[in-house]
Amino acid sequence: MNILGPIRAPLRQHGRYPYWPITKAAPFRWPQGEGLAVYVALNLEVYGFGEGMLDELVPESPAPDVLNYSWLDYGNRVGAWRILELCRSLKLPLTVLVNSRIYAFCPELIAAFREAGCEIAAHGRTNAERQGQLPEAQERALIAEATAEIAEHEGRRPRGWLGPWISESEVTPDLLKEAGYDYVLDWCHDDRPVALATRAGPLLSVPYPQEANDANAIVVRRMTAENFADLLVDQFDEMLEQASGTALVCPISLHPHVSGQPHRLRQLRCAFTHIAQHRGRIWATRAGDIADVAIQGYGIR
């Protein structure tokens, strides 16, 4: 009998990164502004009609789910174009997270973002599936297929990856590093880029938001458009104060079927106008540009 009480087994850990308090500065600084980098990630997603997963405005609608499918399709047909127009008017760069199958659905849309100078990052093949539940060989094949399809149309490989539904297996960072990716957006554990350990060497994690994210805030938590716009402004203003003398990242995640709805777009314009008015104090940029600075600062190869 153990007179000191029950023996507590250690908690299982992932081993990808050590603890690093925010009070310890990063070994790099942004090339512009007072310490805050801001980027906007726009998710461009495609779904199968009558099969696979769907993002849901109304739950438990039987297949073929016309209501939810057409709500999602509105984002690519209408909402994404309005958000592109908004960001161009305010000179806010975009990182576009694309399901690779989107090239077959709406090539004109991707061409418009390419011509606008947006970064094209990978977001799997389609959001009708998750990768984290696949065996390693099948997940490797999924990553390879999505990468090759984007490279075929863009003329170069994507450098960043966001898993569909933020789905990872035990080996996803390893597979991404082995596939040649420079950064991943799945982890929301810090306000700074952090190097993840993988079996093939370090892979950079660039902050991606689960709070300043319209799908989570509006669709899941049922926030109003006004409240979400206030969230973005408060997040930005507070981080701008916190970032003085350091290097923080304020990411914003948008989905065109959510924020591209006219009544929400009007509120989003107010929030983005507020951010753009502080252009001289921030680095308005893209996720890949943030990764470049951090990779050099960490000495990642």
Is the CA virtual torsion 164, 218, 73, 208 positive or negative?
A: negative
CB atoms within 10 A of CB 77: 15
Res 2: pLDDT:
59
Q: Where are the alpha helices (DSSP H) in the chain?
A: 66-74, 80-90, 102-105, 107-115, 136-154, 172-178, 214, 225-242, 256-259, 262-276, 287-298
Res 3: pLDDT:
60
287, 39 in Cβ contact below 8 A?
yes
Res 78: pLDDT:
98
CB atoms within 10 A of CB 114: 15
d(CA 57, CA 272): 25
Res 101: pLDDT:
97
Res 301: pLDDT:
77
Residue found under tokens 């943030």: 290
d(CA 185, CA 52): 23
Res 110: pLDDT:
97
Q: What number does CATH give the domain 36-298?
A: 3.20.20.370
288, 245 in Cβ contact below 8 A?
no
d(CA 204, CA 182): 6
Which pLDDT tens digits describe the chain residue by residue (301 residues)? 456 667 778 899 999 999 999 999 899 999 999 999 999 999 999 999 999 998 888 887 888 999 999 999 999 999 999 999 999 999 999 999 999 999 999 999 999 999 999 999 999 999 999 999 999 999 999 999 999 999 999 999 999 999 999 999 999 999 999 999 999 999 999 999 999 999 999 999 999 999 999 999 999 999 999 999 999 999 999 999 999 999 999 999 999 999 999 999 999 999 999 999 999 999 999 999 999 999 999 999 7
Res 41: pLDDT:
98
259, 80 in Cβ contact below 8 A?
no
Residue-range domain boundaries for the chain: 36-298
264, 57 in Cβ contact below 8 A?
no
